Amino acid sequence: MPVICTLSRRVTGVASSDFAESATACARTLARVSYEHTISDVVKVVEAAGGAIMILGGFGAFVVFVPRALSDTTARPYEDLRRTLGRSILLGLEVLIIGDIVRTIIVTPTLESVAVLGTVVVIRIVLSFALEVEIEGAWPWRRAARADRCTRRQ
């Protein structure tokens, strides 16, 4: 690590002002490195949480599905499974987007990383809309009209 190397050099024959400047530069580097590492670790935790939401949500959906499928208490266990799986995937994707945004804005704020973030967000938004349509059976802006038609039939 360059900080340790700089601080551990012998100061014999070095003016005290040079040493002070070197120590100040080392302190700044240490602060920046620890801040970047901390934010990177936070982003990793957020991404792990997003993955865990999808995995645990999927597992929980199957745990609930099996008894419902074996008994006849629920009329549509497969549709309930799809809805629950889709919701857990959507929630996990939203959390992953948060991690991408934090990484792009704080850790690596370059034009290239912003372009990659924009692409990833657009892809995930399209995925979210597709999952929403799959879960609900209608586009989000048509859901109210569909709900009105369903209540009129009853």
Residue 34: band (very low, low, confident or very high) from pLDDT cuts 50, 70, 90: confident
Mean pLDDT of the chain: 77
Residue ranges of domains in the chain: 40-153
Overall average pLDDT of the 114-139 stretch:
83
Nearest to 21 by CA among 35, 7, 8, 31: 7
With residue 4 as reference, give the H or E element that holds it. Answer: helix 2-8
Count CA within 13 A, CB hemisphere, residue 112. 1
- The percent of residues above 90 in pLDDT, for the chain, comes to 16
**Per-residue pLDDT tens for 59-111?**
999 999 988 888 866 678 888 888 889 889 889 988 988 888 888 888 777 88
Average pLDDT rounded to a whole number, residues 12-16: 50
**What local confidence, expressed as pLDDT, does residue 100 receive?**
84
Q: b vs e for 85-122, b when ≥16 Cβ sit within 10 Å of the residue's Cβ? A: bbebbbebbebbbebbebbbeeeeeeeeeeeebeeeee
> pTM (2 decimals)?
0.64
Q: Ramachandran region of residue 137, left (φ > 0), alpha (ψ -120 to 50) or beta?
A: left
